[in-house]
Amino acid sequence: MREGLGAAGVDGKHMQIGEVAARTELSQRTIRHYEETGLVVPSARSQGGFRLYTEKDVDRLMVIRRMKPLGFTLDQMCDLLDATDRIDTGIGLDADEHEALLERVRVYEQAAVEQVEKLRIQLSRAEDFATTLRTRLDQNAPAAAQRD
């Protein structure tokens, strides 16, 4: 815990949960839930006990936010974040461990690519459906207007 930080993170490096929520478009409740599950931990607390976050924390929350709509579970998010954290620090990793971590990340990248393709197909079908409905409405609009 860092001492001397005001509730507004006056050191210019910390943000309170409300600002983080606005920046990430996650609710404060969701951010607290992610904290409870261990996905993100505030970098500091103010003297008043307010959660304080850094840009790195915001980046982590954005990874989580981007994974969620792709159907990744909280356990998968935790696993990916653990792998990327360990890669980023590199502390105590030999070449084999580093490669194993990279492979874990590759698996998630491939799963994300596959899910994005599925979503593209769903979006295309939804757009086709909306176009079909619009065409039907346009074809029937003059008939309805002529009856008046």
pLDDT at 8: 41
Residue-level pLDDT at 92: 87
Cα angle 120, 81, 88; round to 5: 115
pLDDT of residue 148: 54
Q: Kindly report the three-state secondary structure assignment for every residue of 104-136.
A: HHHHHHHHHHHHHHHHHHHHHHHHHHHHHHHHH
What is the tens place of the pLDDT at every residue in 38-97? 999 999 998 888 999 999 999 999 999 999 999 999 999 999 999 999 999 988 899 999
- pLDDT for res 90: 84
On the question of pLDDT at 9 being above 50, the answer is no
**pTM for the complete prediction?**
0.77
Phi-psi region of 38 (alpha: psi -120 to 50; beta: other; left: phi over 0): left
- Adjacent-strand bridge partners of 51: 45
- Percent pLDDT > 90 in the chain is 78
For 2, other C-beta atoms within 10 Å of its C-beta total 14
Q: What is the pLDDT of residue 49?
A: 87
44 C-beta neighbours (distance < 10 Å), count: 18
The tokens of 68 are what? 């969620």
Residue in the block written with tokens 């003297």: 47
- pLDDT class of 141 with cuts at 50, 70, 90: confident
> What stretches of the chain adopt beta strand conformation (E)?
15-16, 44-45, 51-53
The tokens describing 101, both together, are 């971590």
The size of the chain, in residues, is 148
Residue 7 has pLDDT above 50, yes or no: no
